[in-house]
Structure 1
Amino acid sequence: MTDRVAGTHRQLTNAVKEALRDLNIQLALLNRRFGGRVELKDADWTCLDLLNRQGQLSPKELARRTGLHPATLTGVLDRLERGGWVVRERDPHSPDRRAVTVRALRERNSELYDMFAGMNHRMDELCRDYNAAELEVIAGFLRRTAEAGHDSTEELA
């Protein structure tokens, strides 16, 4: 790689990193605003989103995936349960009768979808500007970025 090409690549890489930082800020602001409307704190929303996407999980597994301390998770689950977002159920597959799993109440999801309708519509419009090959590259980049974030999070644990 020539010095000129390397310099351009470095500049573009920095532009991507800056754009990701801007995206992180905007999504954090959106999530806070959204959370205020449905009375969910950031950690509450993270847990609820994971449960909606992954299915029921044990509290231990949910704590591991979110990086929350078990005592903190207990408070989160208490709020989510009081709000009618999740239920804790006995784990029928565990020999330990005290073992529970947490399940999102999907019938409440329409409230979430309504809140994110504006963002979903804007994302649909944005994606229309790209062809299938470009969308594959973007999706792949975002997946790899999420993996890099996951690995970096694990590194700091």
Structure 2
Amino acid sequence: MDLVDPEDARTRRRITSELKRRFREVNNQIALLSHHVSTQVELRDIDLDCLDFLAQHGPASPSALARRAGVHPSTMTGVIDRLEKGGWVRRQRDDADRRGVLVSARPDAMAEVFRHYEGMNAQLDAVCADYSPAELQVISGFLDRAANAGRQAVEEFSSPG
């Protein structure tokens, strides 16, 4: 039976608590940056979030986008309509499901959005330069696990019951 040193347990709780606080701060800063970018490109925050999801993950059905954004499908219809009208996305028939529609980000339009994140990306490059490749792998793994925890929390929050 492993005994946990009470001092180690307190230290772990303190560090974990500080890490969560810093995560909230990073989240706040990214949300503020994204809000400024959405204002610059004349999109609503939710529209920019959906556009970013499409840029990261590729074409998706409207229902998949609605689940990802945590909005009602009828709300997503309005989001997609605005994005299509603005030239940010295009709808296309789903080859796998002839009745279905896939929404995809237009690469030329995404270049405009990415341009607004160049400053942040340069800052992150400078931060990453201070770490070894092995340290970056650990950080990347941690962030991947944290993102999965976030997705699971959203699924649990969104589940009826």
TM-score (norm 1): 0.94
Is residue 2:26 matched to residue 1:28?
A: no
Q: Which residue of 1 aligns with 2:17?
A: 14
Residues in 1 aligned to 2:147 and 2:95: alpha-carbon distance in whole angstroms: 33
Residues in 2 aligned to 1:61 and 1:16: alpha-carbon distance in whole angstroms: 31
Is residue 2:72 matched to residue 1:76?
A: no
Q: Which residue of 2 aligns with 1:139?
A: 140
The Cα offsets for residues 39-86 of structure 1, whole Å up to 9 and x where unpaired, read as 121211111111112211111222122222111101111110111100
Matches within 5 A, 1:8-157: 8-96=11-99, 99-157=100-158
Query: Identity of counterpart residues, as a percentage?
Result: 45
The Cα offsets for residues 96-146 of structure 1, whole Å up to 9 and x where unpaired, read as 3xx321111111122112100000000000000000111011101111110
Pick which of 109-118 and 13-22 moved more: 109-118
Q: Which amino acid aligns with 1:80?
A: L
Residues in 1 aligned to 2:18 and 2:130: alpha-carbon distance in whole angstroms: 20
Q: Which amino acid aligns with 2:19?
A: V
The number of equivalent residue pairs is 155
Unaligned runs of 5+ in 2: none
* RMSD after superposition: 1.2
Residues in 1 aligned to 2:144 and 2:95: alpha-carbon distance in whole angstroms: 34
Q: Give 3-state SS (helix, strand or coil) of 2:103's partner.
A: strand
TM-score (norm 2): 0.91
Q: Give 3-state SS (helix, strand or coil) of 1:28's partner.
A: helix
Q: Which amino acid aligns with 2:131?
A: Y
Residues in 2 aligned to 1:81 and 1:153: alpha-carbon distance in whole angstroms: 27
Residues in 2 aligned to 1:32 and 1:50: alpha-carbon distance in whole angstroms: 16
Q: Quote the offset at 1:90 in angstroms.
A: 2.4
Q: Give 3-state SS (helix, strand or coil) of 1:22's partner.
A: helix
